[in-house]
């Protein structure tokens, strides 16, 4: 009986050849590009007088630099406009499909590609963006690459890669009410560390994972990279097939049945051997919030800011730096910490179900005085569906701003930025120093529902209090 | 920048060195996102560690006079974590860095550096601390990195370094710029394409 993981099987299908250095030339089945990491790759291609080998296997959108308040062209920021115009030109020259501004399929690259059915089980997916791990939720090997590698994929549809080890993270039980995929992945990163996954692909499995929707699974895989794992994946199952069915690029008719049987064959074998295995109980996880400057510095809503001196030695220095930067005192509770800005969006948590869960908290309430709160749908499709369900009105009525799709304040390469020492409750993925656009701005990562609760109360709040009402 | 960008075989690197201390230094710190608004990498050298440098008002290692012209950087654990932006190694390279030695590196950052011909080598925490102390004792010493011996030395002291076989071979042979290698066997690329069910109507006989 075979004892291979999904990672082994998908890897084997895509092996082109062994390279002299010992790495593998790996075929890339789906290449996604955006405006930030592709222009220099196209320039390099031109310098080398090379073309794009399989233009049909690259798909482009624009997300990082787009303003979310007014998307009229030309953008008011000339640099942003230049980046978009460059991508438009490159796509046109090389006959690459571009889901640009004005298209109903534009959006954050890791939100729009799954929506179109582009992401499917068994693929290799690469993109010049570390959160490409998101697509592993479908049972694909998906990983972020640098610009030189974007050039290589454009030129050869392949990359020189070293095979990773596989660590299975088995999650028993079921997430409790008020606890979401975001809490689970923050909990995992807290316990395995921000570099625990270096050299590994993470296979997320077990009852708690199987019960997650595709959107929840994408949240989990999205943040594998925050735990150091370049690639995270979940075995495809009925939930996966149900999500893909009927999407624009999904297999149709007879092909659909063939596709399902192939996809099913890719799941890790029941006797698969893993390089490492970890088990945890999903039922005992509580809403989780980061307090520090790495995504690994998370605690449950019921805990207090850790005392750096009591942490393991290798965590002490960064914990001290974090306390100082965040202006948080050891042993203080995280619940009740006041905030200035609330951001719901990003490739981690900008999907319809994220907005739905947050809207349940917001409905009938009002954003606390002095808080700036805004919702940025992950894509045009998310925005449209949310509006059809009246979510925009719920948020607007409560005092949230309702914006146009883009990466927004996750990384602040656009007008959405923290100012000065402002502190945000954010549904995004990184709480690094300066990440949200102010060199000394501060970020608390949490689930979209927790961000909504924080907006209403003006401080970090246990979302379960709203759900009991 | 005075030095030429890396080219061909990289078997040795000579020069002065300095340290950036701290674990988990992410690529947002190496190059903040606002500097990613560009269609060329050319201006990034001056923007490396922009926010940290501003905060330290001229006292950041990348601003200190005696570090000007140095080309070897000694760092700590999980350097280059976070975003995949190649802008980070590009900024370091365009400032003048040609070699990075640390306790460990984030995977995407390591690969991005290799693709530019900038070796990233590791050593144990103890060895890195020892090396950082040696480097800081005298900013003017010339260090010599030798790929074949996997070591860096200032004539008196030598620190052994670690590098996997794959990147070692790529640097040694000069084949770290992967594009031409990847294009060598077009037929095999096409064959792989034709054998992928999802690119061929999910044909069963595959």
Q: Does A434 touch chain B (CB under 8 A)?
A: yes
Buried b / exposed e over A45-58, threshold 16 CB at 10 Å, is beeeebebbbbebb
* pLDDT exceeds cutoff 90 at A20: no
Note whether B27 and B78 are within 8 A (CB).
no
What is the maximum span of chain A, computed from C-alpha positions, in angstroms?
A: 64
Query: Does residue B195 sit within a domain?
Result: no
Place of tokens 């011909």: B117
Per residue in A197-246, pLDDT (tens digit) is: 999 999 999 999 999 999 999 999 999 999 999 999 999 999 999 999 99
Query: Does residue B61 sit within a domain?
Result: yes
User: Residues, chain A, total?
Assistant: 469
Average pLDDT over residues A126-139: 98
From chain A residues 380-409, the ones with a CB under 8 A of any chain B CB are none
B90 CB neighbours in chain A (<8 A) are: 147
> What six digits make up the tokens of B113?
């550096």
pLDDT at A259: 98
For residue A121, what are the CA distances in angstroms to A127, A225, A240, A319, A421?
17, 19, 8, 39, 43
Per residue in A309-365, pLDDT (tens digit) is: 999 999 999 999 999 999 999 999 999 999 999 999 999 999 999 999 999 999 999
Tell me whether residue B15 is exposed, middle or buried, using C-beta atoms within 10 angstroms of its C-beta: 0 to 12, 13 to 18, 19 or more: middle
CA–chain centroid gap for A395, Å, is 23
Q: How far is B204 from chain A (nearest CA, A)?
A: 7
Residue pLDDT tens, chain B, 206 long: 446 899 999 999 999 999 999 999 999 999 999 999 999 999 999 999 999 999 999 999 999 999 999 999 999 999 999 999 999 999 999 999 999 999 999 999 999 999 999 999 999 999 999 999 999 999 999 999 999 999 999 999 999 999 999 899 999 999 898 898 899 989 999 999 999 999 999 986 54
Note whether B79 and B25 are within 8 A (CB).
yes
Paired strand residues for A218:
none
CB contact under 8 A, B23 and A152: no
- Integer-rounded Cα Rg, in Å, for chain B is 19
pLDDT at B180: 87
Query: Does residue B95 sit within a domain?
Result: yes
Closest CA to B76 of B107, B109, B53, B100: B100
CB contact under 8 A, A129 and B84: yes
* pLDDT exceeds cutoff 90 at A2: no
Instruction: Tell me the three-class secondary structure of B117-131, residue by residue.
Output: CCCEEECCHHHHHHH
Question: Phi then psi for A152, rounded to 5 degrees?
Answer: -65, -40
Q: What angle do CA B137, B143, B146 make, to 5 degrees?
A: 145
Contacts of A368 (CB under 8 A, 6+ apart): A455, A456, A457, A458, A459
Note whether A395 and A359 are within 8 A (CB).
yes
- Domains held by chain B: number: 1
Alpha-carbon distance of A171 to A265, in angstroms, equals 22
pLDDT at A322: 98
Per residue in A29-88, pLDDT (tens digit) is: 999 999 999 999 999 999 999 999 999 999 999 999 999 999 999 999 999 999 999 999
CATH number for the domain whose boundaries are A165-284: 3.40.1060.10
* pLDDT exceeds cutoff 80 at A469: no
ipTM of the complex: 0.96
Place of tokens 């060895």: B127
Q: Say which CATH number the domain at B170 has.
A: 3.20.19.10
Q: Does B200 touch chain A (CB under 8 A)?
A: no
pLDDT at B1: 44
Closest CA to A109 of A35, A217, A28: A35
Per residue in A77-104, pLDDT (tens digit) is: 999 999 999 999 999 999 999 999 999 9
pTM more than 0.95: yes
pLDDT at B4: 87
Place of tokens 């925005």: A383
Alpha-carbon distance of A408 to A180, in angstroms, equals 22
Alpha-carbon distance of B22 to B20, in angstroms, equals 7
Decide if A16-160 and A289-468 have a common fold: yes
Q: How far is A220 from chain B (nearest CA, A)?
A: 16
Average pLDDT over residues A275-301: 98
Average pLDDT over residues A390-403: 98
Q: What angle do CA B17, B18, B24 make, to 5 degrees?
A: 125
pLDDT at A442: 98
Note whether A335 and A302 are within 8 A (CB).
yes
For residue B15, what are the CA distances in angstroms to A348, B8, B92, B143, B146?
43, 19, 15, 5, 12
Closest CA to A189 of A295, A286, A301, A316: A295
CA–chain centroid gap for A132, Å, is 7
Average pLDDT over residues A138-142: 98
Query: Does residue B170 sit within a domain?
Result: yes
CB contact under 8 A, B193 and A157: yes
Alpha-carbon distance of B27 to A433, in angstroms, equals 11
pLDDT at B2: 47
Where are the domains positioned within chain A? 16-160, 165-284, 289-468
Contacts of A416 (CB under 8 A, 6+ apart): A68, A343, A374, A376, A403, A408, A409, A437
B115 CB neighbours in chain A (<8 A) are: 146, 148-149
Query: Does residue B4 sit within a domain?
Result: no
CATH 3.30.499.10 is held by the domain A289-468: yes
Per residue in A439-464, pLDDT (tens digit) is: 999 999 999 999 999 999 999 999 99
Query: Given B23, B167, B173, which is nearest A318 (Cβ)?
Result: B23
CB contact under 8 A, B106 and A198: yes
The whole domain housing B153 covers: 12-177
CB contact under 8 A, B195 and A53: no
Q: Does B138 touch chain A (CB under 8 A)?
A: no
Alpha-carbon distance of B109 to B101, in angstroms, equals 13
Contacts of B205 (CB under 8 A, 6+ apart): none
Question: Phi then psi for B143, rounded to 5 degrees?
Answer: -100, 145
Query: Does residue B76 sit within a domain?
Result: yes
pLDDT at B203: 85
Q: Does A294 touch chain B (CB under 8 A)?
A: yes
Alpha-carbon distance of B7 to B13, in angstroms, equals 12
Alpha-carbon distance of A295 to A285, in angstroms, equals 17
Query: Does residue B185 sit within a domain?
Result: no
Alpha-carbon distance of B128 to B75, in angstroms, equals 8
Average pLDDT over residues A110-138: 98
Q: Fold for domain A16-160? A: Aconitase; domain 3 (3.30.499)
Average pLDDT over residues A402-406: 98
CB contact under 8 A, A15 and B192: yes
Tell me whether residue A351 is exposed, middle or buried, using C-beta atoms within 10 angstroms of its C-beta: 0 to 12, 13 to 18, 19 or more: buried
Q: Does B67 touch chain A (CB under 8 A)?
A: no
pLDDT at B178: 86
β-strand pairing of A30-33 with A58-61: parallel
The torsion angle over the Cα atoms of residues B52, B54, B59 and B64, rounded to 10 degrees, is: 90
Note whether B113 and B88 are within 8 A (CB).
no
> What six digits make up the tokens of A24?
């593998």
Note whether A458 and A452 are within 8 A (CB).
no
Q: Alpha helix locations (H) across B83-175?
A: 87-95, 107-115, 125-137, 165-173
Instruction: Tell me the three-class secondary structure of chain A, residue by residue.
Output: CCCCCHHHHHHHHHEEEECCCCCEEEECCEEEECCCCCHHHHHHHHHCCCCCCCHHHEEEECCCCCCCCCCCCCCCCHHHHHHHHHHHHHHHHHCCEEECCCCCCCECHHHHHHHCCCCCCCCEEEECCHHHHHHHHHCCEEEECCHHHHHHHHHHCEEEECCCEEEEEEEECCCCCCCCHHHHHHHHHHHHCCCCCCCEEEEEECHHHHCCCHHHHHHHHHHHHHHCCCEEECCCCHHHHHHHCCCCCCCCCHHHHHHHHHHHHHCCCCCCCCCEEEEEEHHHCCCEEECCCCCCCEEECCCECCCHHHCCHHHHHHHHHHHHHHCCCCCCECCCCECCEEEECHHHHCCHHHHHHHHHHHCCCCCCCCCEEEECCCEHHHHHHHHHCCHHHHHHHHCCEECCCCCHHHCCCCCCCCCCCCEEEECCCCCCCCCCCCCCCEEEECCHHHHHHHHHHCECCCCHHHHHC
> What six digits make up the tokens of A26?
């790996």
- Percentage above 70 pLDDT, chain A: 100
């Amino acid at each position: 009986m075979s004892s291979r993981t999904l990672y082994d099987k998908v890897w084997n299908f895509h092996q082109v050849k062994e390279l002299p250095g010992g790495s593998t030339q790996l075929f890339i089945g789906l290449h996604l590009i955006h405006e930030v990491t592709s222009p220099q790759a196209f320039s390099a291609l031109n310098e080398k007088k090379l073309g794009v080998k399989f233009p049909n296997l690259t798909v482009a959108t624009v997300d990082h630099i787009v303003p979310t308040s007014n998307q009229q062209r030309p953008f008011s920021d000339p640099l942003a406009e230049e980046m978009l115009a460059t991508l438009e030109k490159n796509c046109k020259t090389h006959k690459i499909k571009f889901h640009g501004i004005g298209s109903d399929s534009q959006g954050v690259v890791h939100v729009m590609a799954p929506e179109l059915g582009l992401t499917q089980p068994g693929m290799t997916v690469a993109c010049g963006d570390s959160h490409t791990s998101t697509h592993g939720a479908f049972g694909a090997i998906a990983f972020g690459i640098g610009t030189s590698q974007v050039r290589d994929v454009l030129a050869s549809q392949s990359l020189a890669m070293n095979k990773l080890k596989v660590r299975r993270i088995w999650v028993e039980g079921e997430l409790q009410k008020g606890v979401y995929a975001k809490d689970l992945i923050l909990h995992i990163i807290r316990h395995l560390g921000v570099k625990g996954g270096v050299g590994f692909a993470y296979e997320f499995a077990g009852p708690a994972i199987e019960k997650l929707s595709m959107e929840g699974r994408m949240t989990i895989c999205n943040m594998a990279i925050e735990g150091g794992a370049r690639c995270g994946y979940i075995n495809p199952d009925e939930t996966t097939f149900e999500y893909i069915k009927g999407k624009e690029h999904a297999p149709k008719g007879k092909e659909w049945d063939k596709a399902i049987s192939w996809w099913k064959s890719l799941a890790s074998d029941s006797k698969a051997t893993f390089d490492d295995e970890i088990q945890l109980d999903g039922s005992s996880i509580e809403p989780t919030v980061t307090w520090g400057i790495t995504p690994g510095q998370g605690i449950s809503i019921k805990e207090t800011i850790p005392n750096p001196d009591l942490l393991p030695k290798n965590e002490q220095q960064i914990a001290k730096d974090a306390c100082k930067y965040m202006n948080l005192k050891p042993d203080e509770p995280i619940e009740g910490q006041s905030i200035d800005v609330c951001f719901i969006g990003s490739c981690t948590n900008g999907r319809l179900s994220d907005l739905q869960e947050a809207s349940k908290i917001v409905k009938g309430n009002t954003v606390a005085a002095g808080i700036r709160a805004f919702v940025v749908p992950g894509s045009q499709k998310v925005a449209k569906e949310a509006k059809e369900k009246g979510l925009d009105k719920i948020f607007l009525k409560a005092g949230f701003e309702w914006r146009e799709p883009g990466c927004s304040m996750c990384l602040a390469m656009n007008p959405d930025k923290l100012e000065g020492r402002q502190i945000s409750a954010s549904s995004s993925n990184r709480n690094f120093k300066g990440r949200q656009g102010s060199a000394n701005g501060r970020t608390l990562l949490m689930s979209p529902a927790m961000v909504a609760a924080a907006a209403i109360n003006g401080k970090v709040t246990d979302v379960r209090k709203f759900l009991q009402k | 920048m005075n030095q030429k960008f890396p080219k061909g075989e990289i078997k040795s690197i000579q020069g002065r060195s300095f340290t950036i201390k701290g674990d988990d230094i992410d690529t947002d710190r190496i190059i903040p996102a606002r500097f990613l608004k560009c269609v060329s990498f050319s201006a990034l050298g001056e923007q490396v560690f922009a926010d940290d440098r501003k905060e330290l008002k001229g006292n950041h290692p990348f601003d200190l006079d005696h570090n000007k012209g140095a080309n070897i950087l000694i760092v700590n654990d999980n350097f280059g974590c976070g975003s995949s932006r190649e802008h980070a190694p590009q900024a370091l390279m365009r400032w003048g860095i040609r070699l990075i030695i640390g306790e460990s590196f984030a995977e995407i950052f390591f690969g991005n550096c290799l693709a530019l011909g900038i070796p990233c080598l590791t050593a144990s925490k103890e060895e890195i601390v020892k090396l950082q102390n040696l480097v800081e004792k005298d900013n003017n010493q010339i260090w010599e990195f030798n790929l074949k011996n996997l070591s860096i030395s200032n004539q008196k002291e030598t620190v052994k370094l670690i590098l996997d076989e794959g990147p070692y071979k790529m640097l040694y042979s000069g084949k770290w710029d992967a594009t031409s290698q990847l294009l060598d066997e077009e037929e095999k690329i096409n064959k792989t394409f034709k054998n992928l069910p999802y690119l061929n109507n999910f044909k069963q006989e595959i």
